[in-house]
Structure 1
Amino acid sequence: MPIDAAGALAAAPRVREIAWDHKDVQLYHLGIGAGRPATDPGELRYTLESRLHVLPSFATVAGGGAPGVIGTLSMPGVDVDLAHVLHGGQRLRLHRPAVPVRGRARASSRVVAVHDKGSAAVLVLRTEVTDADGPLWTDEAEVFVRGEGGWGGERGPSGRPSPPPAEPADHVVERAVREDQALLYRLSGDRNPLHADPEFAARAGFERPVLHGLCTYGAALKAVVDTLLDGDVTRVRAYRTRFAGVVYPGETLRVRMWRAAGRGREETERGDAGEARGALREVRVAVSAVERGDAPVLADTVVRYG
């Protein structure tokens, strides 16, 4: 069997040293669509080194990119065809208020779950990143592998995306995706040919190369930060999504946002040592492709902030 679940779960963590600086941050921001209009003060926070703030989703590419889809396929116990693989979901938790503009850290990655969905397998790859001052962030990627289920393992949580809230969104913004967006974004580390090579995309079942899911993930977070958090990237504490569909370069993203209301939607944030840091709120987000009848792109998406 190409996926040895027991072997993947028992394998020792894969550890690597990562480093990044302002040029990596700026390239990432440009890759997710920042810098338009180029002279807008709000955009200069993402593009000009003298004013630079780091969007937390940069964590997914810091040091050349978290292992993610490509890295999961090289983990012990995993031997599958890249053309059968899809990125199913992503979770990020920040352990400090801000990702530094430049840094050097240690990234430790391991498979923490393997689910048997019958016709497919889902692997969860967790990456813990720490520097000399302690934990920076924890990142989890869910990797969906078609045709690799059916060995009798645990099914795990439902992979079916939930519908967005029925009530009208509190805010709706639209963001155009450039024709060359995937070519620019891949320079931050994700060289999966699905996003650049038409022949590979056709073999994987797509009419043409698709945008990286993590590019849409970053663009959606930027929309939330700019719209609801006054551009303050340090307020983001956690961010999760499920990839519900693809985006083709040149399309328009519609980002709908609902502020959580009512009791039970807020809680006290606590640090790794257990100290209270204040109340957390959350906003639910749904992203769709405008030109394809609002086809869902990101679902079950939540930004938690302080």
Structure 2
Amino acid sequence: MPIDAALALAAEPRTGEISWNTKDVQLYHLGLGAGTPATDPDELRYTLESRLHVLPSFATVAGNGSPGVISGLSMPGVDVDLARVLHGGQSLEIHRPIPVSGTATATGRIAAVHDKGKAAVLVMRTEVADAEGPLWTSDAQIYVRGEGGWGGDRGPSTRLEPPAGDPDKTVERHIREDQALLYRLSGDWNPLHADPGFAELAGFERPILHGLCTYGMTLKAVVDTLLDGDVSRVRSYATRFAGVVFPGETLRVRMWRGDGAVRVAVGVAERDDAPVLADTIVEHS
């Protein structure tokens, strides 16, 4: 079996130093579409170094996102065909606000291996801490098609009951034609998001937007709309990637307020709200 669950779970964690600065944070925010209008005081918090705060989803690209999904696929006990791999979900737990620049230690390991029958799911956990203590914990759920069926634990279901009633707030965010080209400068160089020929080989009519770009855009919409623009209120953020979106399309972000949490559903406005992010929740103070 290409995935040896016992070996993967027993493997020694991989530890390395990561660092980032204000330019990295600004570039990430611009890749999410921040800065429109450029002189809006609320947008300047994402773009101007003297006012800068850090959207917590920056954790997915800090230090070029390493260790991450690709690192997880090279762990002992994991030998899979990249063509069968999907980034199925992403969650973050934020222990304290991310500084605008810093150096930290990132420790990555396979935290779980689940047998879904027709697929295996690897949970790649990354824990990041600096000299003052823990900063964030990130879980990437990696689906590997065709690698299930060995009789292992199916793992917990990540499906949530749909929110009741109409959303409390709905906003739309247009994706620029060049947005994937800008976002990839934060470290995800997968040609699927830039090369039309590669995208066609992968079964898409043209390059698609990074799922983690949609992830960041959605968190920004929640923070700006329901959390008074205060990034420090975010405690955790989890989603399941449910579909693709193309540059030039429009995200429709629907939000439901709850007790200490916001439920979110994201679809493509031009395609009758075709799902992009599902089972999405932002927990906050």
Which aligned pairs between 1:255-270 and structure 2 lie closer than 5 A? Answer: 255-260=253-258, 265=259
Match of 1:286 among 265, 269, 277: 265
Specify the code of the residue in structure 1 equivalent to 2:7: G
Pairs aligned (count) = 285
Give the Cα separation in 2 of the matches to 1:163 and 1:205: 31
Query: Partner of 1:304 in structure 2?
Result: 283
Post-superposition shift, 1:66?
A: 3.8
Specify the code of the residue in structure 2 equivalent to 1:61: V
Aligned-partner SS, 1:238: strand
Post-superposition shift, 1:37?
A: 1.1
Give the aligned CA root-mean-square deviation in angstroms.
1.3
Query: Partner of 2:91 in structure 1?
Result: 91
Query: Partner of 1:112 in structure 2?
Result: 111
Query: Partner of 1:203 in structure 2?
Result: 201
Match of 1:230 among 213, 220, 228: 228
Identical-pair percentage: 75
Aligned-partner SS, 1:207: coil
Aligned-partner SS, 2:33: coil
Deviates more, 1:143-152 or 1:284-293: 143-152
Query: Partner of 1:251 in structure 2?
Result: 249
Specify the code of the residue in structure 1 equivalent to 2:114: H
Aligned-partner SS, 2:163: coil
Change (3 A) 1:7 1:57: same
Which aligned pairs between 1:152-171 and structure 2 lie closer than 5 A? Answer: 152-158=151-157, 161-162=159-160, 164-171=162-169
Q: Is the 1:88–1:143 Cα contact (8 Å) retained in structure 2?
A: yes
Deviations 1:234-282 (CA, angstroms, capped at 9, x unpaired): 111111111111111111000000001xxxx4xxxxxxxxxxxxxxx11
Give the Cα separation in 1 of the matches to 2:67 and 2:195: 21
Post-superposition shift, 1:116?
A: 1.1
Structure 1 residue 60 corresponds to structure 2 residue 84: no
Compute the TM-score of the two structures, normalised by the length of structure 2.
0.96
Post-superposition shift, 1:162?
A: 4.1
Specify the code of the residue in structure 2 equivalent to 1:245: G
Aligned-partner SS, 1:286: strand
Give the Cα separation in 1 of the matches to 2:172 and 2:29: 17
Post-superposition shift, 1:291?
A: 1.0
Aligned-partner SS, 2:62: coil
Query: Partner of 1:45 in structure 2?
Result: 45
Change (3 A) 1:137 1:34: same
Compute the TM-score of the two structures, normalised by the length of structure 1.
0.90
Aligned-partner SS, 1:64: helix
Post-superposition shift, 1:163?
A: 5.8
Q: Is the 2:67–2:107 Cα contact (8 Å) retained in structure 1?
A: no
Which aligned pairs between 1:206-225 and structure 2 lie closer than 5 A? Answer: 206-225=204-223
Structure 1 residue 192 corresponds to structure 2 residue 171: no
Specify the code of the residue in structure 1 equivalent to 2:40: D
Q: Is the 1:245–1:295 Cα contact (8 Å) retained in structure 2?
A: yes
Structure 1 residue 121 corresponds to structure 2 residue 123: no
Give the Cα separation in 2 of the matches to 1:186 and 1:176: 18
Specify the code of the residue in structure 1 equivalent to 2:146: G
Post-superposition shift, 1:118?
A: 1.4
Q: Is the 2:175–2:250 Cα contact (8 Å) retained in structure 1?
A: yes
Give the Cα separation in 2 of the matches to 1:33 and 1:67: 25
